[in-house]
Chains A and B, each alone.
Chain A
Amino acid sequence: MQDRPTLTPTQINEELLWPVFSFRRRHAIAFIPPMILLMGGVAAVTILVYQGLWVTGLARPAFWGFFIVNFVFWIGVSHAGTMISAILRLTQAEWKRPITRAAEVMTIFSLITSLLHPVIHAGRPWRIIYWLLPYDFSRGIWPDIRSPLVWDPIAITTYLTGSVLFVFTALIPDFALIRDQSTGLRKKIYGQLALGWRGTPRQWKLQGIFGLLMSALILPVFVSVHSIVSWDFAVSVVPAWHVTVYAPYFVIGAVHSGVSMVLTLMALMRWIFKLENYIWEDHFDAVGRLLIVIATLWLFFFFLDFAFSFYTREEQELAVMERRLFEWPFNAITVIMVFTSYIIPIPLWLSRRVRRNIPLMFWTSILVNIGMWLERYFLIIPAIERKQELTFLWSNYVPSLIESLVVLASFGMVGFLLLLFAKFVPLVPAWEAKEGVVFREDVQFGQVVLPGIIKETEEENVW
């Protein structure tokens, strides 16, 4: 058991709010890599908009290349953020405190980043507006609700709205904290955002209920969103996409990549913002254990996808599976994917010593995300190239430099937005950190003292 420091409210305020009140070198340096990636992406998108979609080399039938692979990847990453936070809130896990907000914010920024991809993919992004507004109501033509391309934006908008509301409402007490610690214009702005929060028992109680209720509401949305994203593929008649297992397979893949991304984020937050007093080795240990279960479930669905295809014995299905397993470059991608997503990290995570080694956990989480990105490529590209018998049109998809730059920029964008967010609001909820200290009670067992947690009393009012 790791020694847990006893922190005072003033110390918590100082340690969590320094990025808001000052701009230290470590925070500034952290901005550099994401900004470089982001600038590359801006340049690529500028060329694409100016020249047109032909610069990507996308052609029938493989129009869904890196852009859609990356779109699905970021939607997946966005899942674990709110999922892990909602599950930890619902189970009232004590170790949730330093993780929830960063995970929820990662959800929002990943969703925003993923939503940019279909817009960029349109080639002429401003034309998206014709699809959205003004809708042609005069002729009574409405979106076809039978299309998964209508379900998809509705589900993602629901998830994004829910996540933003979730984060904003949980932020109100911290807005009040910053309001009370600042002066001038900052005080005015945070005063408005805090909505006049005072910290009465009623307000705190409602915050607690809100966390539980919102978690219960957002969990079904989280499951539905990636299921619906999978139906973008599964409801089509493209061989190897048209499988019933796609919804749970996508959801578990999303959880695997998302929870690994939370792990990456925890390590980065600890290093950049010096959060050693809040994000402990115990947290990495707990997330590592969770990932062992998730990764194994993912592997089960990975094999199930093959089983479903083999069971049909349809030539077209088998042709795609054959390409995935035996044809270059997909055979290499499959091997790298399975090794980085499962075979390398899982034996390592089985060791407690590795789970408590933060640099190792950081690098293994990166490995998983490389693997899970490749998994999306593995699922989408071999099928859409349509290299089967009796096909009318087929192609060889080769990613272009423009697409690659946009993919790299998406990582830069999420990183940049998270660092920018940390400049205005603490990534670890200060009020939750203080609550953890209040509820903590060291308990003596024989010759050892263990940290315990006070829960609610039996009686409604002890007075």
Chain B
Amino acid sequence: MADNKDLMGVFADTDTAAEGARQLKSAGFTSDDYDVLTGNPYPEGAFGEHVKKNRLFVFALSGSFIGFAIAFLFTAATQTAFPIVTGGKPILAIPAMIIIMYEMTLLFAMIFTVVGVIFESRLPRPGGEGPVYDTRITLGYIGLIVTTTEDRLEKAEEALKAAGAEDIVRESS
């Protein structure tokens, strides 16, 4: 939604930030309307936030299939491209192929997992940390970001201040 604006309340501790989330809900905002910024992980739901499901496993699984397929094609194609019979054995050396397929399956699964984490974390952000951010977040402060229409920003600010927000950071227009 193009006309939505961000507003962040900066809280000094967990209790006031949790109170801020309660005040926002009392003011009619839902858990989809705000997000939390912290300098370290907190137990899920500590601030009443709603974390949408991720599809990280899809990335890992796709990577493993792709890696397996590439390794299979590579090992099979290279052996058939230059077919030398050694010791009367078949051209395709299955046990040796398995070793390479095993490694490539895991390699691609790992690469895709990292791509998945970055993608699902909505990174990289070309604009840096976003329209509203406060460097005190990594000092232990907690930020509650409300994303809403301009006419409701006042209401959100009142709720955050009532809960004890030390600062309010507004998105520059």
Contacts and interface: CB of A to CB of B under 8 A. Distances in A.
Interface residues of B, number: 63
Contacts of B31: 463
B35 to A, nearest CB: 5
Given A161-B107, A196-B128, A208-B41, A202 B52 contact: yes
A218 B14 CA distance: 35
B124 A228 contact: no
A285 B39 CA distance: 30
Contacts of B78: 142-143, 145
A457 B44 CA distance: 8
A154 B96 contact: no
Interface string A134-152: 0000001111011000110
A250 B128 CA distance: 46
A154 B97 CA distance: 12
A240 B93 CA distance: 25
Contacts of B2: none
Interface string A159-200: 001100110110011001100110000000001000111111
Interface residues of A, number: 66
B77 to A, nearest CB: 8
B153 interface: no
Given A154-B100, A165-B114, A434-B140, A456 B37 contact: no
Contacts of A198: 37, 125, 129-130, 133, 137
B35 A213 contact: no
B104 A456 contact: no
A12 to B, nearest CB: 9
Contacts of A217: 60, 106, 109-110, 113
Contacts of B121: 197, 202-203, 206
B15 interface: no
A435 B44 CA distance: 13
A220 B129 contact: no
Contacts of B113: 210, 213-214, 217
B45 A457 contact: yes
B140 A463 contact: no
A201 B40 contact: no
Contacts of A462: 45
A13 interface: yes
Contacts of A173: 40
Given A169-B117, A431-B39, A209 B56 contact: yes
B118 interface: yes
A318 to B, nearest CB: 27
Nearest to B97: A145
A195 B123 contact: yes
B124 A196 contact: yes
B42 A434 contact: no
A244 B99 CA distance: 16
Given A151-B96, A201-B36, A180 B137 contact: yes
Contacts of B122: 202-203
A162 B106 contact: yes
Interface in B36-60: 36-45, 47-52, 54, 56-57, 60
B125 A196 contact: yes
Contacts of A141: 82
A13 B39 CA distance: 11
A462 B44 CA distance: 9
B120 interface: yes
B135 interface: yes
Contacts of A206: 54, 56, 117, 120-121
A150 to B, nearest CB: 8
Interface string A258-287: 000000000000000000000000000000
B88 interface: no
A199 B38 contact: yes
B82 A140 contact: yes
Interface of A: 8-10, 13, 140-143, 145-146, 150-151, 154-155, 157-158, 161-162, 165-166, 168-169, 172-173, 176-177, 180-181, 191, 195-210, 213-214, 217-218, 220-221, 224, 228, 431-432, 434-435, 438-439, 454, 456-457, 460-463
Interface of B: 14, 31, 35-45, 47-52, 54, 56-57, 60, 75, 78-79, 81-82, 86, 93, 96-97, 99-100, 102-104, 106-107, 109-111, 113-114, 117-118, 120-130, 133, 135, 137-140
24 contacts: A9-B138, A140-B82, A142-B78, A145-B100, A151-B96, A155-B103, A161-B110, A169-B117, A196-B123, A199-B137, A200-B35, A200-B37, A201-B35, A203-B121, A206-B54, A206-B117, A207-B117, A214-B110, A217-B109, A218-B110, A220-B102, A221-B103, A438-B14, A461-B48
